[in-house]
Every structure is written in C-alpha cells, then in structure tokens.
Structure 1
Amino acid sequence: MQLTLHKSEVLKTSSVKITGSKSESNRLLLLKALYPVFNLENVSNSDDSNLMTKALVSDESIVDIHHAGTAMRFLTAFFSIQEGRTVTLTGSKRMKERPIKILVEALKELGADIAYVENEGFPPLKIKGKKLTNNKVSLAANVSSQYISALLLIASRLEKGLELTLDGEITSVPYIKMTLSLLEEIGIETSFEGNVISVKPSTNNQEAQTLVVESDWSSASYYFSIVALSHIGTEVTLSSYKNESLQGDSVLVEIYKHFGVETVFGEHTMTLKKVRLNVAPLELDLKNAPDIAQTIAVTCFVMGISCDLTGLHTLKIKETDRLVALKTEIEKLGGVVEITDKSLHLKPSDSINEMVPIATYNDHRMAMAFAPVALKAPVVIEDAMVVSKSYPTFWEDLKTIGFKISE
C-alpha cells in the first residue's frame, strides 16, 4: 500500500501509547519457552514478535520466520538445544542473504549439529537439537549483538553454562547488557568483566512472576524526530517508558537535546517538548545504537543541517543495506549524502523536493524514519505497511497527533 503524507502540523499537545519493545519481547519470549513459570505483559504486537511466538510453539519440521532477523538468530540457538528434534529454519529471500556463519560456528564449537541447506554461511539451516556439553567459545567483539545475545539466552540451559570471550572492541554493548539484565531478572547468575561474559547453568528454581515489557525506544525515535521538526511548545507524551531503561536506543534523550527536544519523565510516561530552534551540525558515533541512524539522518536533512554519523557497520546486513538506502532516498528529496561501509555524511541543504516517492526496501525503519518529512513537505511512502514488522499501528497513531495521510 502506498500512502501520501500531506504537509502536516502536529497538535500542540498529544499522547501515544506504544507497544512493548521488540528487543525485550523477543528475548523474554525465548526465555519463557525455556522457563515457562513466568508470565509476560505488554509484549510487542510487531510481526517479528508474533513470528517469534509462533515459532516457539510450532511443532513443524520447517519454521519460516520471513524477514525477522532477530528471530533467525535467537531461534538458531534455541533449536540447537532442543534435544531429539530436527528443524529447518528458513526465511525470506532477503533473510537468505543475511550472514549467520559467525553464530553457527560458535554454536558448533559448543557442540551443535547445524548444516547449511543452500549456501554456506547463510540460511536456511538444518538444525538437529542435542545436548551441548562444551561451555567456552570466542567471538569477534564487533559482530552483531544479536549473535552474542542468541548464545547468552540459551547459556543457562547448557550443562556447564557458558564462558563467552569477545575479541576486540565491543559494539552494541547496551543490547548485550539488556540480555544479561533480563537473565538476572529471572534468576540466572551472570557476569560481564572486561571482554568475558559468564552465565551460570540454571538451578531450575525460577520463581513464578510477571514481567512487564517496557515500550519500544526505537519506535519512540520517530516521535523525537517529529517534535524536533515542530514548533516551539509542541509536546508529545509517550507511554510506557522509564528513565532507567535497558534499551540502547534510550540515548535518544541525550541526542535529541541537540535538536531542541527536552524529555520529562512521569510515572510510566515521557513527554517530549520542543524548547529551542537553533541547531548546529551534528557528529555522532552510533555504534551502540545503530537502529536510530535513519531517524537522525532524516531529522538533520529536514532541518537543513549537516551530520557525520559513524559506527554504522552493522547497517549493511539489516533488512536492506540501510546506508545505501538512506543515501538513495535522501538524495531523491534533494540532499547530498556520502557513505562508507560504516558511516554516513550529510551536507546541509535549504530545500526539500515535494511529493517524492520514498522506497522502503522491505525495511520498516525506512518507512517510519521518512514520515516526519511531511512536517516540511508532502511525501509519498511506498509499501507503507512494512511498518507492521515492528509498529503495526504507526500510521493510525500519526493521524491522532495531526498528520494528514491518504491512500
């Protein structure tokens, strides 16, 4: 479905309830499958989390997770310890182009039985579940944190737990710490000292409890962008959020101060306020929060300021090559962008081309990151329902705060 976002102005004050974090939900869904004693509330209603839920209860021999990259990584680890069960884990055409060799090799070192069905190093995978008896493995520290989290999530179910050594400078540390915090929350003992992460084996005495998933900070990023591009005095209140978050994208609070956005926390809410107009060029290392690069780049473009974003090497293996996609679509709007394999450099611009069709590349974040353009110029979003991957009600929520949208 193609949507036209007419030039809009958001309401002076508005509020939006955002579904649970996809990152937290998918980790907790896997842990609940391993430890059924606890319950979950505010689970993400995203496609990815729905696919994760279905895969974890499926008794089929073929499990298809479509575009869900997190599910592919986490389920590869999960199925490798399901003793006596054989599963072929597959996905979309793009998923079959996304590398998984680093995780597969690590699991094999632990004793897993995994074979490539088509191309070496890529899904689909044939996984024969078994007891994993080894407990030590090393990974390059700059790989996707999802590989690391996949190992950590099953670690307490290994006979001797896990000792994971990360070689080099660690990226996406907040996502690793999120995984460890969730393990601790359900009673699993962990440590993270230097470059070594240890997870103790489970004693199977987890207490029954209800865990509430915090709402998704990546989804909140689009509202930070919207408020940044709005008039002074504009306020948007989002729920359910907390000041002390496990999610790496909560750095948005500090980053968007640069764009004149102040964040005030309530009991379960945060209110974003536009308090200042003048904005300077931006230099930012996003190695710990690469998922918000698209949002920030578009904010800078619409504001007409330059930005230099680094630490983006993991964006090349997402739903699409996000760096190439960003360059292509911003340049359609009239911007000038240079990219390397791990950085993006945007030059300042003073105008925006109107009614430009933005391609979304099967990437939910492309659709949502470019939506705030409509606060300055009308824009067309192609394949707009791709947002269902992480935020199915996005377009309806935008309408409630003042966006004018038509099919």
Structure 2
Amino acid sequence: MNLHLQSSIVNLKSSVFITGSKSETNRLLLLQALYPNLFLENTSNSDDSEVMAKAIQNAQPATRNPQLVDIHHAGTAMRFLTAYFAIQENSEVVLTGSSRMKERPIKILVEALKQLGAEITYEENEGFPPLRIKGKKLTQSKVSLPANVSSQYISALLLIAPKLENGIELTLEGEITSVPYIKMTLALLNEIGVETSFVGNTISVQPKFTIQNSQFTIESDWSSASYFYSIIALSPIGTEITLSSYKPNSLQGDSALLEIYKTFGVETSFENNIIRLHKTCNSEPETLKLDLNNSPDIAQTIAVTCFGLGISCHLNGLHTLKIKETDRLEALKVELTKLGATISVTNDSLTLESSSTINENSAIKTYQDHRMAMAFAPLALKAPIIIEEAEVVSKSYPTFWVDLKSIGFTISEL
C-alpha cells in the first residue's frame, strides 16, 4: 500500500490517544509470563507486542518435535524470547523470524545465555536466527558481555534473572550504551518487588520466585510521540497537539524529545495524564549537534525534522541503527537524498547539510521499517510526499495514518 500525503496546516488544536509503550509492554509481557499474577493495562497495540504475547501464549511443553515459534519482524521479541525459552524447563522450540530477522545478529546474547548454562544451537547460519532452544534450569549466575551491544540483549538477561536459582551478576565490558533502556528494565523489576543494583559496570538481580498480585498501567509510547513533535516543529506558531497518556517521570529514554524539541520551538506541558505540544516560536539553530546514544530510535525523526526546517545537523551515538529492521543510517541517506538533501553517514553518525528546497512527490522507500514511514510523514507539511509500503507502521503504531488524518493530513492510496 503506497500513500500520497499532503497538508498545508495541522488543525490548530488536535488531540491523539497513543497506546502503551512498546518497550515497556514487551518487558512486562515477559514478566507476566514468569509471574501470572501480574495484570497489565494500556498495553501496546503494536504488531511487535501482539507477536510477543501470542508466542508466549501458544508455547506448549515439548512434544516429540520442537515447537516452531515465528516472530516475523519483531526484533525485541526475538531477543527477549530467546532468554525466556532458555529457562522453560522440558520445552524445546525453534525460534525463527522473517528473512531480515535471519540477518540480524544474536550471537552475543546466545553466548551470554550459554555462560549461564543454556542449551541453544543455530539451525542455519552461525550467530543468527533461527535458534533451537532446549529449556532447562539455569544454575550459573555470573555472566559478562560487551557493554556497547544492543540494550535488548542486556534486558533479556535481566528479565529472566529473578527466576534463576541464584539470580544474575552481569558484568558489562567497556562503555555502556542505551542506559535508559537498561534502567527501564531494572525499574520495572523493582516495581514488582525484585531487588536490583547497578553500580559501575556491574548489574545484580536477586532471585524472586513469587510476587504479590500486581496491577501495572503502562505509559504511552514516547517513540510514537516523536512524530507529533516533528509535526508541531514543522507547523506555524500557535499549533497545538495533545497526546495521552504520559507522565513527567518517564522510564522511556525517548522522553528526551521533550528537551530536544525545545530547540525547534516546541514546548511541552503536562496536565494530568496528557502532554500538550505547542509551537511557540521559530527558534532554530544553524546546526543541531546531538549525541543520541541513549535514544537512537528518534534519530530518524530528528534528521527529517531538521531537513524539513532547512537546518543542518550532526547526530552521533547511532551504531545500533545498523542492525535494526534495516540499516537505518544508509536508508536515511538514500531517501533524504531523493528529497534533495546533502547527507553523509558513518557507522555511528549522520551529518545533514542545510537545504532550502524539498523535491515534491518523492516516493520514500520504507525498507520494511516502521520508523522510516512515520519519520518521513511529517514532511507532507512542507511538500506532497509518497510513502511506499505504508502498512509497515503496524509494527509499532497501527492507527498512525488514521491519527494523521484526524489532525488534518490529506492521505490517499495510490
């Protein structure tokens, strides 16, 4: 499904409801599988979360043949479920995914689980899914892995830790990246009564085999909010959008948006469980320089915002974007160049030069990556744009196009 988008102005006062954070939901779904008396509200309606929930619900004790569990494009589910199935005693699964998933490395996590005693083998290529996982009781507690890997590897280990006989003492070697996501995992463990510590490069999680009945309301997704921050930044002074449900003391690293978008004249105010985004001025820097080591998922949105405003930017701390749904840095380079941008990328950075023109009706390829589709959509405020394979947004935000129409975008299927 290819969509043509255009809009000269957003409805001046719009309101959008965004479902729960995909990051929090997926962590809590795994914890709920380990502790069935954990009850969740405002879970994400994303494909990723639904795939994760279905995989857990449908997993059966081992029969004569291992059960096939297909998580399609859901990278978080692949990492988290690798750890989850490793501790499901007397079970055997083959965990697989899409062709792109089979190209995404998982060896570091597998090796860490093997340090704990897990039994995991590769079905096709060494270091990549699909994985054959024979669940067993893990008695080892000390494990180490490089600190600059995807935080999802680290979180996967931490989430299963309280169900291990001796918990986990995890040593991270080198400089730690994506700290907010690690802290989110630890905070959620603390919320259900699990004792943790994070001192220097060592994380400890104590065993806890049962918890009290617990109800958890998941905060809405800040990554999804990023596209509305971009829309407000590209809109005239006075434009407002309210989003719900959010809280000031968020666990999500992407809440950094709140401060970053002040640079573009977007102010955020909290009222009960909503945030109000308000374009107050056209304050724009000559060059925006940011280290997004702690929030790489909003890099695409920020780069496109800068292009739409005609300002240059240098974004670094982006090394994890190379192994996402696509190589997001190369994808940004190709698609922004189509629109008239001058852009260069390295293994961990992106540099965009200021530009005063945007090529109209450019067709943006999305590479099976939901964030490519949504990050480029706000540019319709500056020039008509075509988003190819637009249905990919369902991975994290199924109602995205409906919500854009509700605030004034004109969207037609080609």
Q: Is the 8 A contact 1:67 1:92 kept in 2?
A: yes
Aligned to 2:354: 348
Q: Which piece of structure 1 moves more, 182-191 or 55-64?
A: 55-64
1:225 aligns with 2:194: no
Letter in 1 for 2:223: S
Q: Is the 8 A contact 1:8 1:404 kept in 2?
A: no
Aligned to 2:241: 236
User: 3-state SS of the aligned residue for 1:257?
Assistant: helix
Letter in 2 for 1:239: S
User: 3-state SS of the aligned residue for 1:238?
Assistant: strand
1:393 to partner: Cα distance: 0.1
User: 3-state SS of the aligned residue for 2:5?
Assistant: strand
How many Å separate the matches in 2 of 1:6 and 1:270? 26
How many Å separate the matches in 2 of 1:59 and 1:210? 24
How many Å separate the matches in 2 of 1:335 and 1:176? 35
Aligned to 2:33: 33
Change (3 A) 1:44 1:265: same
Aligned to 2:253: 248
Aligned pairs (5 A) from 1:262-341: 262-280=267-285, 281-341=287-347
Aligned to 1:54: 54
How many Å separate the matches in 2 of 1:138 and 1:112? 14
Q: Is the 8 A contact 1:332 1:353 kept in 2?
A: yes
1:112 aligns with 2:118: yes
Q: Is the 8 A contact 2:163 2:209 kept in 1?
A: no
Equivalent residue pairs, number: 406
Unaligned 5+ segments in structure 2 are 61-66
User: 3-state SS of the aligned residue for 1:4?
Assistant: strand
Letter in 2 for 1:52: M
Aligned to 2:220: 215
1:59 to partner: Cα distance: 3.0
Letter in 2 for 1:32: Q
How many Å separate the matches in 2 of 1:227 and 1:68? 30
Aligned to 2:63: none
Q: Is the 8 A contact 1:260 1:278 kept in 2?
A: yes
Aligned to 1:98: 104
How many Å separate the matches in 1 of 2:276 and 2:183? 26
Write the deviation string for residues 53-102 of structure 1: whole angstroms up to 9, x where unpaired: 00001136000000000000000000000000000000000000000000
Change (3 A) 1:203 1:114: closer
Aligned to 2:64: none
User: What is the percent sequence identity of the aligned residues?
Assistant: 70
Letter in 2 for 1:189: E
How many Å separate the matches in 1 of 2:155 and 2:89? 21
Q: Is the 8 A contact 2:364 2:386 kept in 1?
A: yes
Q: Is the 8 A contact 2:224 2:397 kept in 1?
A: yes
Unaligned 5+ segments in structure 1 are none
Write the deviation string for residues 162-213 of structure 1: whole angstroms up to 9, x where unpaired: 0000111110000000000000001111010111000000142x11121001
User: 3-state SS of the aligned residue for 2:263?
Assistant: coil
Query: TM-score of the superposition, structure 2-length normalised?
Result: 0.97
Aligned to 2:378: 372
1:278 to partner: Cα distance: 2.9
Aligned to 1:158: 164
Aligned to 1:44: 44
Aligned to 2:19: 19
Runs of 4+ in structure 1 deviating by more than 6 angstroms, as ranges, are: none
User: 3-state SS of the aligned residue for 1:370?
Assistant: helix
How many Å separate the matches in 1 of 2:98 and 2:17? 30
